[in-house]
Chain A
Amino acid sequence: MSAEHGAPARELTGWGRTAPTSATCTQPSDLTGLLAALGSSGPRGVIARGLGRSYGDSAQNAGGLVVGTGRLDRVLGVGDGAPAPGTVTVEAGVSIGHLMRVLLSRGMFVPVTPGTRQVSVGGAIAADVHGKNHHRDGSIGAHVEAMTIVLADGSVREVSPAEDEDPELFWGTLGGMGLTGLVVAATLRALPVHSPWMSVDTTKVPDLDAMVDTLADADRRQYSVAWLDCMAGGRHAGRGVVTAADHATAQEAASWGEDLEGWPDTATAPDPDPAPRVGAPSWVPPGLLNRWSIAAFNEAWYRRAPRHRAAERQSPATFFHPLDGVEGWNRLYGRAGMVQYQCVVPTADVVAALLTQLRAAKAPSFLAVLKKFGAANPGPLSFPQPGWTLAVDLPAGLDGLPSLLDALDDTVAVAGGSVYLAKDSRMRPQLLPTFYPRIDAWHELRDRVDPDRRWQSDQSRRLSL
């Protein structure tokens, strides 16, 4: 049955390693190859897959075609070669990590990076990813000048937020989970920086009230985020560590003894995309990550953190992507895999309610991430909205987890919040219009650009997207 596309069928999962399905996989190396592959797709449609970091089934297409973008990895223009000063044009398969390296060597930085740099630019657009600077700079959508999309009918279009360049398609593609078209290239506005280092403040906070205050205060910095010990209860509930950072100035770098003479051309700089230091073993005992081991880890990690440390020198990789240092860390959850739950809610009291629900269920969640979001963008399926976003990792095999997450959904829905599709692997389809009130506009767009539903994924089938 794999002969349909003349390419092999493979079993795929998302980063959470749940719900495997098989699809014909192809990795075209250029637009011609891509269009040829699309021409061979059957009734079960096509979805693009970048680096496979969506947690759930967004980049799977059971029985259909999955187009890997890994070989569309050219940097088409940067610096003087770019269409406009300060922009960079790349193919969709370029990773954020590679882009960081390219930009930093020219004294620039990516406008937005998620918690992993193992994300393709195409995937970053499809999920409209956000980073620790969302409160100031918005999600990646705010920094995309234009993108080149292959549409369902095989035509290739350039879209942008400009009035005459189909802004509906542009914004519907940001966060559109690959269901409006296949992004093949994009032009991003890069951020000029004055050193290759981050200047990081770290503050340990004992409870949720302090957490909320410290995080709100940290929003004066370009980057802010908190790591939360979700398992701590009582007066420790909501304890964690807040980090806030800016790109270090040249003077700051000098104060650390870093000689930036000649940077970015000659001075040595930290590699923003280093190889992982260690890898998770391919097999781990079932239940390695359980209530006790995770609680112990969280406790140790909290104790180790400094009460307050200011203006510490960190490399971008250390500050932005600590988990990328462990290759395949998702394997630590064993055969049953993991689920990441990420929601956004308008107010901190809802975060407190969610933490209470997680604790009451004794959910063994690894360090959770809490961050204050800034303004939303016009994308109907874009996730960020003003408020607090909470992300927790949970072992998928945990007893009672399905109903716990449904209950968290209910809390989020009542509060007028939303749940992130790039992390989703289990949402109830009927809640979509609640989480994404502008979904009708997006469906209208989809009817216009893909009436025959050529773009399909397991997630689009599961959620009737």
Chain B
Amino acid sequence: MKDAFGSAQSVAVLGGTSEIGLAVCRALAGGGRLRRLVLAGRDVEALRASATSLTGWPVGEVSTVAFDALLPSGHDEVVRELFADGDLDVVVMAFGVLGDQATMLDEPDRAVELAEVNYVGGISMGLRVAAEMRRQGHGTLVVLSSVAAERGRASNFVYGSSKAGIDTFAQGLGDALAGTGVRVLVVRPGFVRTRMSAGLAEAPFACDADDVGRAVAKALRGGAETVWVPAALRPVMSGVRHLPRPIFRKLRA
């Protein structure tokens, strides 16, 4: 159970090799209450490496579950395994791909696959985890969205639209779950320095995975439903969202 400060005792990360996902684990472990951590992902070897990377952090017992976002037909089984050892206080949906947009423009199948991972996989798992949390009467689903969800940009609109989809989904899911003891936290980081973004030109307001982790831990404590990382992105993106398109286009963001 979460305590009065939102410190979780049991956490699962979908996309258990994600740097942001692991940063969230480290931040949640900081509350000193974590007893059980489940890392779910495609590559079990890589998950074990993730578990090893958490050595020294008070994350409790770590287990792994095989999970492929691209296989919704297997998601019922994944959820069964996730909850097999008892309640989960927090489930972090940290899986996702960025894709190379230039390639996707030539090979639309890649764009389809990206959407299947980021959006279809997200709603498939999001709904199933939410149903399980309703049964247990508590829990927080943390959905990693992105500032890219806020406005389609020429340079990454495929990724951005998949995040916009999952972002809208998560907001609505959170509202639908009001009063059930289950919450949804939408996380909108800006440019995060990770393997996924390596090689890309750093955008303004760039941050590290641990910044996202800390922001998530803080939001869980306060019961917030949306968190921007860094927080300054909220007013910034509010402005960007309303820029007239000719101007926005010139920014070539």
Binding site for B on A (CB under 8 A): 1, 9-11, 16, 18-23, 44, 56-57, 61-64, 335-337, 339, 396-397, 401-402, 406, 425-426, 428, 458-459, 461-462
In the assembled complex, B134 has its CB within 8 A of some CB on chain A: yes
Closest 6 CB pairs of A and B: A63-B137, A62-B137, A22-B181, A425-B4, A18-B4, A462-B1
Separation of A64 and B87 alpha carbons in the complex (Å): 13
Chain B residues closer than 8 Å to A57, beta-carbon distance: 1, 4
Contact status A335-B223, CB under 8 Å: yes
Task: List chain A residues, Cβ under 8 A from B1.
Answer: 19, 21, 57, 62, 458-459, 461-462
When distances are taken between beta carbons in the complex, the residues of chain B under 8 Å from A401 are 5
Q: In whole angstroms, how far apart are the Cα atoms of A191 and B181 in the complex?
A: 43
- Residue on B nearest A460 in the bound complex, by CB: B1
Task: Offer 12 A-B interface pairs, CB within 8 angstroms, sorted by A.
Answer: A21-B181, A22-B134, A23-B181, A62-B136, A64-B137, A336-B222, A336-B223, A337-B4, A339-B4, A406-B32, A428-B32, A461-B1
Closest to A335 in B: B223
B75 at the interface (CB under 8 A from A): no
A458 to B138: give the CA distance in the assembly, Å.
10
Decide: A44 near B4, CB < 8 A? Known: A9-B180, A11-B181: no
Q: Is the CB of B31 within 8 A of A402?
A: yes
| B2 contacts A by Cβ under 8 Å | yes
> Is B145 an interface position by the 8 A CB rule?
no
Distance between Cα atoms of A401 and B136 in the complex (Å): 28
**Per DSSP, are chain B's interface residues mostly helix, strand or loop, or mixed?**
loop
Question: In the complex the two chains form, what is the Cα distance from A23 to B136 in whole Å?
Answer: 9
User: Do A21 and B138 touch across chains, with their CB atoms under 8 A apart?
Assistant: yes
Q: Is the interface of A mostly helix, strand, loop or mixed?
A: loop
A66, closest chain B residue (CB): B137
Say how far B146's CB is from chain A's closest CB, in angstroms: 27
Interface pair B32/A22, CB less than 8 Å apart: no
Q: Could you tell me the distance in whole angstroms from the C-beta of A406 to the nearest C-beta in chain B?
A: 7
Contact A56 B4 (CB under 8 A): yes
Closest to A18 in B: B4
Q: Could you say which of B5, B9, B179, B181 contacts A396, with CB atoms under 8 Å apart?
A: B5
Our pick among B2, B5, B9, B136 for the contact of A44 (Cβ within 8 Å) is B136
Smallest beta-carbon distance A7→chain B, Å: 14
Residues A20 and B181 in contact in the complex (CB < 8 Å), given A339-B4, A425-B3, A426-B4: yes
Report A-chain residues with C-beta under 8 Å of the C-beta of B17. none
**Which residues of chain A are within 8 angstroms of B179 by Cβ–Cβ distance?**
10-11, 22
| In the bound complex, CA of A302 to CA of B5 (Å) | 31
CB closest chain-B residue, reference A338 = B4
Chain A residues, Cβ within 8 Å of B2? 19
Q: CA separation between A10 and B87, bound complex, in Å?
A: 19
